Amino acid sequence: MTATFRTAASIGTGQMGPGTASVLALGGAATTIVSRSLDSARKGLETARAGLAELAAHGIVDSERAAAAGERLSASDDFDTVVAAADLVVESAPENMAFKQALFARMDQVAKPDCILASNTSGLSITGIQSHCGRPERVITTHFWNPPHIMPLVEIVKGERTSGEVALQLRDFLRACGKAPVIVKQDRPGQLGNRLQSALIREAMYIVQEGIADVEDVDLAVKNGFGLRLPVYGVFEHADIVGFDTVTAVADYVSRDLCNHVGALPILLDRKERKQPFCDWTVKTMDQVKARRNAFLLDFLARYR
């Protein structure tokens, strides 16, 4: 497999940086994990290699490919030197517009002219970020979903001045990395996946707020109903298979009763104020739920990808 990018940098060692680095290495790029301290960067390196081992253990990538990707990974605290040598930089810094604008302005100054600068932001405008760069056409969003080494989706979001060629180059590379990239052609709030997810979350909270169903039953309906088939049965596939007459009829009467509230719903604001979670976390832990999520995802990907 030939990599589109020979060298890459993954900026940040929080939830996303190490996993993103492992993905880039799987695509064939010699990838450096960059953090403010060398100790933190080395811990990120350990996390990235552990993620590769996890993929190999579940048969999602073969052990030889995972081992080779692990050898392509390195760690550094020398930000400018790493960015200057990279063909591709993906940052996973805190979600703060002013911080990212300053970070990208700095990268724009030290990076090679043909380097692509990508943000892993899940909500900030890439148009706003690229506005502080001298080469905005090479600035783009690559939003990896968490956990990034497992979740297939990467949203490639074009800013107002992003080159279409850059978007296509990243799409091809991410496919070589084993991901399922989509190109989002307009820089809009929520990108693509979070727009869809936000609509579901709003309606789910509205159902509980209105007393239509309880929290536990809403989650059960999602997990055991339409949510169970979504990995292999898309929204538009469903519309075509069911037929336009049925889809239109349902839309005509159901849409009239759906939530159209702008902003956070009262039920969410109330829970936030009282610091009361929706779920009963005395009968399960968040770590148990995340472990169950990851096990399901790994099993699904091993079987069907």
From the CB of residue 207, how many other CB atoms can be counted at a distance below 10 Å? 19
Catalytic residue among 74, 122, 131, 294: 122
Q: Which residues of 230-260 are buried (b: 16+ CB within 10 A; e: fewer)?
A: eeeeeeeeeeeeeeeeeeeeeeeeeeeeeee
Contact 298, 152 (CB under 8 A): no
- Mapped onto helix, strand or coil, the DSSP state of residue 37 is coil
Predicted pLDDT at 4: 77
Given the residues 22, 91, 92, 155, select the one marked as catalytic. Answer: 155
| Nearest-angstrom CA–CA distance, 118 and 120 | 7
Catalytic residue (choose from 40, 119, 143, 149): 143
Under 8 Å CB-to-CB from 158, ≥6 apart: which residues? 126, 140, 141, 164, 167, 183, 184, 185, 186, 187
Beta-sheet pairing, 153-157 with 88-91: unpaired
- Side-chain-facing half-sphere of 76: CA atoms under 13 Å: 18
pLDDT in tens, 183-236: 999 999 999 999 999 999 999 999 999 999 999 999 999 999 999 999 999 999
Sites in the chain below the pLDDT cut of 70: 1-3
The 3-state DSSP class for residue 252 equals helix
Quick check: is 63 catalytic? no
Are 3 and 28 in contact by the 8 Å Cβ rule? The answer is yes
Q: Provide the pLDDT for residue 237.
A: 97
Most distant CA pair in the chain, distance? 61
Q: How many residues does the chain have?
A: 305
In angstroms and rounded to an integer, the radius of gyration of the C-alpha atoms of the chain is 21
Question: Does 194 qualify as catalytic in the annotation?
Answer: yes
Q: Is 197 left (phi over 0), alpha (psi -120 to 50) or beta?
A: alpha
Single-letter amino acid, residue 91: E
**Backbone region of residue 212 per phi and psi (left: phi > 0; alpha: psi in -120 to 50; beta: other values):** alpha
HSE at residue 300, side-chain half, CA atoms within 13 A, is 14
Q: Which two tokens stand for residue 133?
A: 């760069």
Read off the pLDDT of residues 229-263 as tens digits, 9 standing for 90 and up.
999 999 999 999 999 999 999 999 999 999 999 99
Q: Report the distance separating Cα 198 and Cα 219, nearest Å.
A: 15
For residue 284, list its beta bridge partners: none
Q: How many CB atoms lie within 10 A of CB 180?
A: 12
Q: Which domains does the chain have, with CATH numbers?
A: 7-184 (3.40.50.720), 195-304 (1.10.1040.10)
Check if the beta carbon of residue 16 is closer than 8 Å to that of residue 120: yes
Catalytic residue among 74, 131, 194, 294: 194
In sequence order, what are the residues at sequence separation of 6 or more whose Cβ sits closer than 8 angstroms to the Cβ of residue 108? 117, 132, 133, 134, 135, 139
Please indicate whether residue 143 is annotated as part of the active site: yes
Give the separation between CA 26 and CA 5, rounded to whole angstroms: 11
Q: Is the dihedral of CA 296, 301, 146, 182 positive or negative?
A: negative
First to last CA, the chain: 18
pLDDT at position 3, please?
A: 53
Sole residue written with tokens 């979903």: 145
